[in-house]
Structure 1
Amino acid sequence: MYYVKEAAHVDPMFVADNTNPKDYYKVLEVEYDATDENIKLNYRRLALKWHPDKHGGDSAVTAKFQEINEAYNVLSDPTKRLDYDLTGICEIEKYSLQEYLARFKSMILTCNGLGINQTDRWYLF
C-alpha cells in the first residue's frame, strides 16, 4: 500500500500558511487507512447524494459537490495521496511554476522565519 499510517498523517489545521485547511478523509467519510475501493465507494455514494441536479442547483450543494470531487481527485491518485498524507496539503496545481517558486523563494529569504529579508537584517544587527 502507498498510504501512510494514521500516526504519520498531518492534520491540515496544523499546516503553516494553509488558509483553507481541508481534511479530505473527513470529506469522503473514510478512515486514514481506507482502501482505494472504500474511497471509491464513499465517493460515489456522496456524489449521488450531493449532486447539484438533485438539489435544484443550490450553490451550497454545488460547493459541497466540488469539495467531494476535489477530495476524491487527491485521495484516488497514489502520488497526490502520499503528498497529502505527508504534508496535509495538495495545492501545488493552484499555482503556476513561477508563482510556486516565488512563494518558496520568499519563505527561504527570511531570517529565522521572522519575515525579515536578507537585506533588511543587516540594518537590524
Structure 2
Amino acid sequence: MDEGTSNTTTKKDYYKVLEVDYDATDEMIRLNYRRLALKWHPDKHKNDTTVTAKFQEINEAYRVLSDPAKRLEYDFTGIYEIDKYTLREYLARFKGMILTCNGLGISQTSTWTQQLKEATSDTWDK
C-alpha cells in the first residue's frame, strides 16, 4: 500500500469528499482542497473531535486525486460499489474512460482525460 493512504476497507468517493465532479481538472481539485482544508482545519474547531477525522479524509482524498498516477489507478480500480450510485452518477464517474476508449477521443474534458488517453494508448493501438 502507498504511504499516506488509508488501509481501511471502507470505500470512499474521493471526488465527493473534495466536492468536485469526476472530470474535475487538477486546478479544481486543488482549489476545493484548499477551501475544505481551511474550513475543516482542527485548529478552527478545537472542541470537536470529529473534525480531525474529516480533515484527514480531505487530505487523503487530495493525496490521491492530486497525483496523476494515483488518480488513474484509483479511477481504474472499480473502488465504488455500483449499487450506491444512480446510472447517471456511475456514467459520470467513468466519463473520461468512456470518451477515450479505443482511441475514439470524442471529447477532451480535462488534463486528466488527456493523461488517461496517453497512458492507455499502447494498449488500444495494438
1:4-43 pair list within 5 angstroms: 19-43=9-33
RMSD: 1.4
Aligned equivalent of 1:47: 37
The 1:88/1:51 distance shift into structure 2, 3 A limit, reads: farther
1:84 equivalent in structure 2 = 74
* Equivalent position of 1:60 in the other structure: 50
Match of 2:64 among 63, 66, 74: 74
Q: What's the TM-score once normalised by structure 2's chain length? A: 0.54
Quote the Cα distance in structure 2 between the aligned partners of 1:57 and 1:67: 19
Instruction: Determine which structure has more spread, i.e. the larger CA radius of gyration.
Output: 1
Counterpart Cα distance in 1 of 2:47 and 2:74: 30
- Identity in percent: 81
- Deviation of 1:59 after TM superposition, in Å, equals 1.9
The count of corresponding residues between Structure 1 and Structure 2 is: 72
Letter in 2 for 1:25: Y
Deviation string 1:47-89 (CA, Å, 9 cap, x unpaired) is: 0000000001522000000000000000000000000000144
Q: Quote the Cα distance in structure 2 between the aligned partners of 1:68 and 1:22.
A: 11
Q: Which blocks of at least 5 consecutive residues in structure 1 are unaligned? A: 1-17, 90-125
TM superposition score normalised by structure 1: 0.55
Partners of 1:52 and 1:82 in 2: CA distance: 30
In structure 1, what is the Cα distance between the partners aligned to 2:69 and 2:47?
Answer: 33
| Structure 2: gaps of 5 or more residues | 1-7, 80-126
Q: 2: CA distance between counterparts of 1:39 and 1:57?
A: 28
